[in-house]
Amino acid sequence: MILSDVYGKPGHLIRRAQQIAVAIFVEECRPLDLTPLQYAALVAIRDLPGIDATRLSEVIANDRSTLGGVIERLEEKGWIERRPSPDDRRVKLLYLAVAGAELLRRAEPHVRRAQERILEPLAEADRVTLMRLLADLVELNNEHSRVPLKRAGEGSQS
């Protein structure tokens, strides 16, 4: 196979799978003007009202610099609100706006379709196996990420 030194590597295949997953998500959510990262941020803000940007970056495993622009766009679209922390006025806390809650409600069928389409080429048993293996791979390699995932219940180290 041509380029087997590339195409046969797990890193390359994972990167390609990510490209495909993002393309399908964007296609399905195009009517809502919603990206995968915006969706993850909105869900986290919905589930953890009053979260700050540092903690949000930990919970969705994304770097602060990228997330800053995402938060600005979400606020510009009226999907979230930023409010000063009562403990430290320099810190802004994030809350889902009414429009953001409505967007998430409308997004659910689009997001579900995207996830189904990503796995659709596989047999059902292979879908279950792939999801289990991906979850294991991510969990076991979490510490190697530029932004290791810290689940909602884990404390921030900032």
Whole-angstrom Cα distance, residue 118 to residue 115?
5
Q: Please state the length of the chain.
A: 158
117-157 per-position pLDDT tens digit: 999 999 999 999 999 999 999 989 888 887 777 765 665 54
For 86-112, give one letter per residue: b (16+ CB within 10 A) or e: eeeeeeebbebbeebeebbeebeebbe
Domain coordinates in residue numbering, the chain: 1-32, 35-109
Higher pLDDT, 142 or 15: 15
33-63 per-position pLDDT tens digit: 999 999 999 999 999 999 999 999 989 989 8
Q: For the chain, what percent of residues have pLDDT higher than 90?
A: 73
Domain 35-109 has CATH 1.10.10.10: yes
CA distances 39 to 1, 9, 32, 58, 143, Å, are 38, 29, 11, 15, 24
